[in-house]
């Protein structure tokens, strides 16, 4: 076997794990996985897929390679195309489903991802599914600011940077708060009031002394 053939076989062997890992990270986040981390994940995930599909792989090998059908071009192009697509798309679909399940905290997914996949409390807090929170921040410069994190009608989607990026927080709707005592400004019906113009709030965590989080 030539060096080129060896490299090609190696790439094909880890392709299912790579497809699965990239699809999972696209949905659930990479959390700063380095190249060496990804190579290990590729190999481990590929080993699982090859173990699961070892039976069909053996039948395909016997039916196409050992029998000589592939060499004699006795397989239709569309059949070969379907096999190639399945080889890539099945792991990709599995990675997307597992990533979505991790975001939604499906119980069975913890068998694959572990019970605490987030590396920091920061990442755990902002990835809670379906939560809308009021976040009140005491800035190191003195004043208090606050805003909604989550889905708020008429406001942009909130966002928190994930590991290992610098911790910054985008609150889709800024609300009125007393800059000294931190009390929310409310209307006659007791509803928290947005800042005029329905502005958003972008804060770097290094500028924050502490955060007060209230689920609503």
The residue extents of the domains of the chain are 3-113, 121-215
More confident site: 34 or 193: 193
What does pLDDT average to over the chain? 84
Q: Give the Cα separation of 167 and 122 in Å (integer).
A: 8
User: What DSSP string describes 186-205?
Assistant: B-TTSPBPBPTT---EEEEG
Residue 158 contacts residue 178 (beta carbons within 8 Å): no
Least confident of 37-46, 115-124, 180-189: 115-124
Per DSSP bridges, beta strands 168-171 and 133-139 are unpaired
Cα separation values, 113 from 17, 19, 26, 116, 118, Å: 15, 16, 15, 8, 10
Q: Place 204 in a pLDDT band, splitting at 50, 70 and 90.
A: very high
Q: Indicate if the pLDDT at residue 180 is higher than 80.
A: no
Whole-model pTM? 0.65
pLDDT in tens, 109-168: 878 777 767 778 888 888 887 788 999 999 998 889 999 998 888 899 999 988 778 899
Enumerate helices (H) and strands (E) in the chain, giving the number of each.
6, 7
Q: Which two tokens stand for residue 6?
A: 């060896």
Cβ neighbours for 20, distance < 8 A, ≥ 6 positions apart: 45, 49, 91, 92, 94, 95, 98
- pLDDT value of position 5: 66
Per DSSP bridges, beta strands 133-139 and 144-149 are antiparallel
Fold of 121-215: SH3 type barrels. (2.30.30)
């Amino acid at each position: 076997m030539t060096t080129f053939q060896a490299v090609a076989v190696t790439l094909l062997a880890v392709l299912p794990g790579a497809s699965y890992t990239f699809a999972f990270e696209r949905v659930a986040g990479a959390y700063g996985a380095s190249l060496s981390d990804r190579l290990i994940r590729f190999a481990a995930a590929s080993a699982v897929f090859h173990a699961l599909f070892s039976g069909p792989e053996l039948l395909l090998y016997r039916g196409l390679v050992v029998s000589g059908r592939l060499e004699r071009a006795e397989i239709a192009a569309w059949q070969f195309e379907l096999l190639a697509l399945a080889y890539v798309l099945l792991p990709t679909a599995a990675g997307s489903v597992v990533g979505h399940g991790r975001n939604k905290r499906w119980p069975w997914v913890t068998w694959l991802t572990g019970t605490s996949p987030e590396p920091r409390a920061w990442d755990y807090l902002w990835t809670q599914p379906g939560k809308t929170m009021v976040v009140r921040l005491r800035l190191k410069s003195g004043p208090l600011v606050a805003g909604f994190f989550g889905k708020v009608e008429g406001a942009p989607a909130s966002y928190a940077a994930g590991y290992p990026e610098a911790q910054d927080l985008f609150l889709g709707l800024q609300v009125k708060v007393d800059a000294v005592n931190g009390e929310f400004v409310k209307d006659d019906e007791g509803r928290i009031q947005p800042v005029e113009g329905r502005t958003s709030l972008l804060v770097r965590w290094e500028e924050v002394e502490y955060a007060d989080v209230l689920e609503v």
